[in-house]
Structure 1
Amino acid sequence: MTLDIITPDRKVFSGEASAVTLPGSQGQFQVLNNHAPLVSTLARGPIVVQSTAGQQTFTVDGGVVEVLQNRVLVLAEAIVL
């Protein structure tokens, strides 16, 4: 699936992922290939991206995620360093 993580300032990540773990406002959840359509708000916490290149972690300070047809779009308020 394709994953894009975007903040108001820049595109943080764009590429293929096999799994994405997200900090939903009602609890952590994971998105895999062929996931059902979904829109959710995000709380502050880590986004863990699994890809062929390995695992990457980004910490967001809230936002929104949309999952549709093997595309995951994260609109993050900010990336916490």
Structure 2
Amino acid sequence: MVKHLIDEQINLNLLTPEKTLFTGEVSMVVIPAEEGELGVLPKHAPFATTLRAGEVKIYHNDNVSDVFTISGGFAEIVNNKCEIVADGILL
């Protein structure tokens, strides 16, 4: 990861129709976009995408702190916030 971005954070909300799975400040999140994995860092350009089934990986500094396996959904990145609405969680 780029060193000057380590101290910066992006606000992440990971939701399903039933509940909130994660909300908080993270250094990076990797999402399973339709075209492949997408890494979202602080100050990411505005972007929206549908999601395929796969893993949402949440990073604090250079370490993966949480992993959620989703069945698909939608993500929007705007104003240093990443909102993920997952169809459901896979076990």
TM-score bin, normalised by smaller chain? over 0.9
* Other-structure match for 2:90: 80
Match of 2:37 among 4, 14, 28: 28
Aligned partners of 1:54, 1:42: CA distance in 2, in Å? 20
* Other-structure match for 1:5: 14
CA root-mean-square deviation: 1.3
Shift of 1:29: 1.0
Aligned partners of 1:15, 1:80: CA distance in 2, in Å? 22
TM-score of the aligned structures, taking structure 2 as reference length:
0.84
Q: Which has the higher strand share?
A: 1
Q: Which runs of 5+ in 2 are unaligned?
A: 1-9
Aligned CA distance change for structure 1 residues 54 and 43 (closer, same or farther; 3 Å): closer
Secondary structure of 2:52's match? Answer: strand
Match of 1:67 among 77, 86, 89: 77
TM-score of the aligned structures, taking structure 1 as reference length:
0.94
Higher alpha-carbon Rg: 2
Aligned partners of 2:60, 2:23: CA distance in 1, in Å? 11
- Off by >3 Å, runs of 4+ in structure 1: none
* Other-structure match for 1:43: 52
Shift of 1:54: 5.3
Q: Which runs of 5+ in 1 are unaligned?
A: none
Identity %: 33
* Other-structure match for 1:15: 24
Aligned partners of 2:89, 2:64: CA distance in 1, in Å? 20
